[in-house]
Amino acid sequence: MAQADRTLEALARDRGPDLLAYATLLTGGDRAAAQDLVQDAIVKVFGRMRAGFTPDVAEAYVRRTILDLRAALRDLAPQERAVVVLRFYEDLTVPDVADRMGLAEGTVKRYLSNALHRLGARLGPVDDDDAVGSLPVERPSGGGAPEGRHAVERSGR
């Protein structure tokens, strides 16, 4: 087993519950949104992992990433945040987002472009393909999460 795999396994096993509790506080008690937030932060951190990463260091990076992503999304204008949520979290097409929000497709594209530019300036480059699965968002309660978004939960945490 590779070092990265061992570190991820140790992080999920030993610190997964604490990270989930931390994220749950940040999402106002929404456990599903918290699970998504932890998953997205882990993916972001482990995508940039360096040799010698220990579970302690990984946990610190995951906690920091959770705060950075939430703060960046909160800085978006409400319409920008809404199109990001619908496009990347709900996985709707631009025409579907436009229909749901009662906007022209060009307006949705402008909001997406502005949002991705602002997120990129704060978090580093974010392109359309990279944004899917890397932007945690709060969802209204009752909605299901997309398949594959709960690795921490599947690991038993």
Choice between 107 and 61, residue whose per-residue pLDDT is larger = 107
d(CA 155, CA 108): 37
pTM above 0.75, yes or no: no
Structure confidence by residue, pLDDT tens digits, 123-144: 766 544 434 333 433 333 333 3
Helix (H, G, I), strand (E, B) or coil at 67: helix
Higher pLDDT, 153 or 3: 3
What rounded mean pLDDT belongs to the chain? Answer: 74
Domain 78-131 has CATH 1.10.10.10: yes
Residue type, 65: T
The mean pLDDT of 34-48, rounded to a whole number, is 83
**CATH 1.10.10.10 placement within the chain:** 78-131
* pLDDT at residue 94 tops 90: yes
